[in-house]
Chain A
Amino acid sequence: MKFSVSWLKEHLDTAAGAAAIADAATNIGLEVESIDDKAAKLAAFTVARVVSAEPHPNADRLRVCRVDTGKEVVQVVCGAPNARAGLTGVFAPPGTWIPGSDFALKIATIRGVESRGMLCSERELQLSEEHDGIIELGGDFAPGMPAATALGLNDAVIDVAVTPNRGDCTSVHGVARDLAAANLGVLKLRPPSSTPGKFESPVRASLDFPSGKENACPLFAGRVVRGLRNGPSPQWLQERLKSAGLRPISALVDVTNYVSHGWGRPLHAFDAAKLQGHMRARFARQGETILALDGKEYALDPEMTVIADDAAPRSIGGVMGGDDSGCTEATTEIFLESALFDPVRTARTGRMLGIVSDARYRFERGVDPEFVIPGLELATQLILEICGGEASALAVAGRVPEWRRHIRFDPAEVNRLGGFHLADTEIAAILKRLGFELRDSGPFEVIPPSWRADVHDKADLVEEVVRIHGLGKVPATPMSRPYAIARPVTTEPQRGASLARRALAARGFAEAVHYSFIPRAHAAMFGGGDDGRQLENPISADLDSLRPSLMPSLLAAASRNQARGLAHVRLFELGVQFESGIPGAQSQVAAGIRAGEPPRHWRRAVVQPDAFAAKADALAALDAVWTGASSVPVKTGAAPWYHPGRSGTIATGPKPLAWFGELHPRMSAAFDLKGPVSLFEIFLDAIPAAKARSSKSRPKLEASDLMPLTRDFAFVVDGKVTADQVVKAARSADRKLIEAVELFDVYQGSGVAEGKKSLAIAVTIQPRERTLTEAEIEAIAQKIVSTVAKATGGVLRS
């Protein structure tokens, strides 16, 4: 909502300047987005007259001018071809910041001649791109007066962001009314006026809505004005509209725009010569179309209100007029319409048709129902003044709907919700200044004014009082502390996610955050891409599918990084994946990848992105979150995007806790990844909840004073036997004395038969009560060999 200060002052009697107006507006909730105050920007520039212009002694294209600045006559060297004696232009004294050239002017010597100032072009003042010569001011302006005044730029333009609830502030008058309530000035009331009809309106207005839907348009008024001349509107009107960013079109259109922008009353002028018969407000009929003023054809539906003549819809109610009944330069007779359209229906129509218009903007926020007729009268007067002609009597259908609401309002609510004390009389005074009617006292009975359809209950009234009184005056009040010392505020899963995040970052992974939506083709490769997870209105075709896994985002990110020349990428994300498109069908996952050859190191001890790197990553993250991680079983194979033989699933039950492994070569190709890729996914929501403990006390440490001893064994087993089977078997040989079994070597090749492998384990035996004898140790060793042989068929390697 843009307006110039002088337009505002048509409605508000105030001495305040642009800056004070803007501050006041922002403080009462009309946020000023910008002030375009050319007068302030150009304050240093003044009108000056060139007394004489002589050729420069040392330069052909320069002139030495003597310039009357109003205060003195100074010498200025000027290169403009139009610099000549008698010219009135714009002068900048030394020290002035020249906005269009971005430098501060200094006293200069140009080719040996001193120059004390500058005569400016339009570009130097940032008024236009014109730079062929200096500004020539037409008209009689005295040297020394502000240049902005001479240029007609002394009217600052303020742009206010009006919140959607404040339909009443979509006009200059509405803004003035609010500012007046904040004591910035006195609202100027328009003297009520009405133009008596010289004749009966030959076009009748009627309402034609099915019962129960009359609120689509409860009031429709109009009148005919004939014998008028349309043409360009007068200068003052054009200036007003231009200051608000509106384009002057013709007197008739400009008047309706002036009343709409100035008073918040949208109107439409039909060329009466192009209408057939009478006008009615009704719903559009199935199949009806209209060519609107924007030159586009719109198909209407029966939920849309139109103003139609006997033949066809001529305007989309509250949204836009029709092209073939629009006013032109040749128009001599109009039907001027002023109606009240339902905000919700207008919003729907505008949205369905995709039309953004000034009328829709106002109607969908709600216009003042009491201003339908006064607005029509105001426009009539202006049209008669500017275009001549004579007006008919009003044609009115329907009436102003009941808008009065009674709100019981205890002024103590201001204290209850606002937390500060304000006298009842002050509360009442603020509401009255805003146009609210107050009855009774103690609890007031409050009736909001006709233009405030947004005010419904006590809280709304508190807001009115607070914003006019000033939010800045509300005293800050410390909140109570429920506990003297803060208590934990996160849940166990929240804490777990945080620990997993730090564990992975500590392992050298960079945390990424990716969109929840991915290309459908990617989703389909990871078990998604179904319709239920598709966005109906994606921002682009490749962000259209809720991700079924975090992995495609990570693979795509790794690929992008490789394309930028980063050969080795370690990324993880902790976020949601979606099982379907219904609320709650999502789970928290920590996923990561190592992609590409790791950087070489002189010690050659780099971690290769293989299944075991992935296993270590997965276990490290799992271990950070969950105490059971060290003993959980691992099985071969994971999801289809993993290498089937080089991947594993960590699970205690049917639901996997984690997948890890190498990337399936087909995925690697699909994402254009180079080098080996290992990956893991940890399903945080599947991790069993820790048992509630009444105490954080730990079990007693059992650390024997007796020296543990270690014995190594190498077993030759069948190639299909897993390491886990051998370790478990060895462990079970003596549950009491065997403390740990570590696998430390795997060997295949010379000395080991084809299809077999050698697994070497180190068994730690911890004596419990006394030192073991050689015979006892030998017995345990024999037991280990026999148990492993029985469980896996392994034989001790000789």
Chain B
Amino acid sequence: MQQIAAAPDGRALEDLRVGALGKKGTIAELLKTLGGMSPEQRKIQGPLFNGLRDRAAEAIATRKRQLDDEALEARLMTERVDVTLPAPEIPEGSIHPVSHVRDELIAIFADLDFRVAEGPDVETDEYNFSKLNIPPEHPARQMHDTFYLKPQPDGARTLLRTHTSPVQVRTMLAQKPPIRIIAPGRTYRRDYDATHSPMFHQVEGLVVDSETHLGHLKWILEEFCKAFFELPAIGMRLRPSYFPFTEPSMEVDIQCDRSGGQIRFGEGRDWMEIAGAGMVHPRVLEMCGVDPEHYQGYAFGFGIDRLAMLKYGIPDLRPFFESDLRWLRHYGFAALDVAALHESLSQ
């Protein structure tokens, strides 16, 4: 038994097993002698010999497990890798801040059943201006430095939309109130400096029904800003302003603190302009086939790029469209960082 427990390896153990339990092994030989014994003797010696056989088998099995374990341990010790070696590539793709912020806007307004509407980038004068109560020679056209296309083969004159408001027009012409939409998209103005890009993104909101008034507009702007900036409260100031397609019109400022070269929202005593808004002008309703005596509503517009800059501290507009991979990775969002109200709009 001692020899079994001390067997140095599998081969020695096998030799011991054959020597003890093999056909000609010592225990087998002992068991064979039982045949020549008297029943009384057998009664005494039988259990004795069988017990010996079982104990030997047990001891061999135990030792075998021990030796296997040791062998496995020894093999594992030789199978070490350098885990600091780089793993196969982990793709580091990213979502552009404009896309992410647009998704945030959609998530917020979806909660109040604003449908996402879209329209073409190339527009007619009628949809971009006239039906929005901006007749030719209107001074407001100077606020929109418009890109025009060369005359089309049929002589038609088209332009790149200067705002997403033509989607309002298209929606009202296609659908009866009640209407609740947001219209995110590309917009274009002939302007290029540190804070202007000839292409940028806007989101337009439009509500038309029989009851929506200025108080509702104020409420949605407040609720939107809290949700978007992910703040429990944020001061807001509405300033009367002018847009040809809304009446009354206003610009929306939110409370901020600019001290220390950084903008923080929801605190401080400064104001930051973030949107234009107003009640849809009755003439616009009329031109879009909606009776202003029965229906009313509001419209608002935010700059998506601007919202992205403000929320995520992106200092400059122009790099948005320059595709510097370093910029895209730094300011971009992970593929699965999906904007959702039930989690958080962003990581």
Instruction: Report which A residues bind B (CB closer than 8 A).
Output: 26-29, 31, 163-166, 343-344, 347-348, 364-365, 416-420, 457-460, 462-463, 466-467, 471-472, 474-479, 481-483, 486-491, 494, 498, 501-517, 531-540, 543, 546, 557, 560-561, 564, 566, 569-571, 574-576, 578, 580-586, 599, 601-603, 605-607
Contact = CB atoms under 8 A, between A and B. Distances in A.
B218 A476 contact: yes
Interface of B: 85-86, 88-89, 91-96, 98-99, 103, 106, 109-116, 118, 120-124, 127, 137-140, 142-143, 147-150, 152-153, 156, 158, 160, 178, 180, 186, 188, 190-192, 198-199, 207, 212-216, 218-220, 222, 237-242, 244, 247-251, 279, 281-283, 296, 320-326, 328-329, 332, 334-336, 338
Nearest to B283: A457
A603 B192 CA distance: 47
Contact of A348 (B112, B137, B190): B137
A151 B243 CA distance: 42
Given A463-B247, A504-B93, A515-B321, 10 more contacts: A29-B239, A29-B240, A417-B279, A457-B283, A459-B248, A476-B215, A479-B112, A508-B91, A514-B321, A515-B198
B247 A507 contact: no
Contact of A417 (B120, B143, B296): B296
Given A516-B186, A539-B190, A511 B95 contact: yes
21 contacts: A28-B240, A164-B139, A417-B248, A418-B214, A475-B215, A488-B110, A489-B110, A490-B106, A494-B116, A502-B335, A502-B338, A511-B332, A514-B323, A536-B147, A560-B322, A561-B325, A575-B186, A581-B122, A582-B122, A582-B152, A584-B122
A711 to B, nearest CB: 31
Given A494-B116, A510-B94, A31 B247 contact: no
Contact of A462 (B149, B191, B198, B247): B247
A487 B89 CA distance: 39
B137 A164 contact: no
Contact of A571 (B127, B222, B325): B325
Nearest to A583: B120
A479 B220 contact: yes
Contact of A474 (B114, B127, B215, B247): B215
Nearest to B273: A31
A349 to B, nearest CB: 10
Contacts of B332: 510-511
A569 B326 CA distance: 11
A353 to B, nearest CB: 14
Contacts of A607: 89
Given A164-B140, A602-B86, A578 B122 contact: yes
B86 A601 contact: yes
A341 to B, nearest CB: 13
A505 B88 contact: no
Given A164-B143, A479-B219, A578-B122, A511 B99 contact: yes
Contacts of B216: 419, 477-479
Given A466-B240, A537-B147, A582-B156, A486 B110 contact: yes
A535 B92 CA distance: 37
A534 B323 contact: no
B134 to A, nearest CB: 10
B241 A483 contact: no
B282 A459 contact: yes
A757 B39 CA distance: 81
B219 A476 contact: yes
Contacts of A344: 137
B93 A507 contact: yes
Contacts of A576: 121, 186
Of B142, B180, B248, B296, most buried by chain A (CB within 10 Å of CB) is: B248
Of B188, B219, B239, most buried by chain A (CB within 10 Å of CB) is: B239
A490 B182 CA distance: 10
A489 B109 contact: yes
Nearest to A477: B215
A437 B109 CA distance: 43
A28 B143 CA distance: 21
A532 B242 contact: no
A363 B95 CA distance: 49
Nearest to B93: A505
A536 B251 contact: no
A581 B247 contact: no
Contacts of A536: 147-150
A346 to B, nearest CB: 9
A130 B150 CA distance: 54
A420 B153 contact: no
A166 to B, nearest CB: 7
A502 B279 CA distance: 37
A488 to B, nearest CB: 8
Of A365, A486, A503, A511, most buried by chain B (CB within 10 Å of CB) is: A511
Contacts of B139: 164-165, 343, 347, 364-365
Contacts of B178: 482
B239 A31 contact: yes
A510 B321 contact: no
A638 B188 CA distance: 32
A488 B113 CA distance: 8
Contacts of B152: 532, 580-582
B155 to A, nearest CB: 11
A516 B95 contact: no
A571 B238 CA distance: 41
A577 to B, nearest CB: 10
A311 B112 CA distance: 69
Contacts of B334: 505
A501 B113 contact: no
Given A29-B241, A513-B320, A474 B198 contact: no
A605 B329 CA distance: 24
A583 B158 contact: yes
Contacts of A459: 247-248, 279, 281-282
B247 A533 contact: no
Given A471-B238, A476-B219, A581-B158, A498 B122 contact: no
A442 B207 CA distance: 29
Contacts of B103: 498
A-B interface, 3 closest residue pairs, ranked by CB to CB distance from nearest: A508-B91, A29-B240, A419-B215
Contacts of A601: 86, 88-89
Contact of B158 (A27, A511, A582): A582
Given A561-B325, A583-B122, A532 B112 contact: no
Contact of B219 (A472, A477, A508, A605): A477
Contact of A29 (B199, B242, B324): B242
B173 to A, nearest CB: 13
A121 to B, nearest CB: 29
B198 to A, nearest CB: 5
Nearest to B328: A510
Contacts of A509: 91, 93
Of B91, B106, B109, B191, most buried by chain A (CB within 10 Å of CB) is: B91
Nearest to B115: A489
A476 B329 contact: no
Given A31-B239, A348-B137, A494-B116, A164 B142 contact: yes
Contacts of A557: 322-323
A27 B239 contact: yes
Contacts of A489: 106, 109-110, 113-116
B308 to A, nearest CB: 11
A343 B136 CA distance: 12
Nearest to B240: A29
A132 to B, nearest CB: 34
A457 B248 CA distance: 11
Of A460, A486, A513, most buried by chain B (CB within 10 Å of CB) is: A513
B294 to A, nearest CB: 11
A614 to B, nearest CB: 15
Given A502-B336, A513-B98, A535 B148 contact: yes
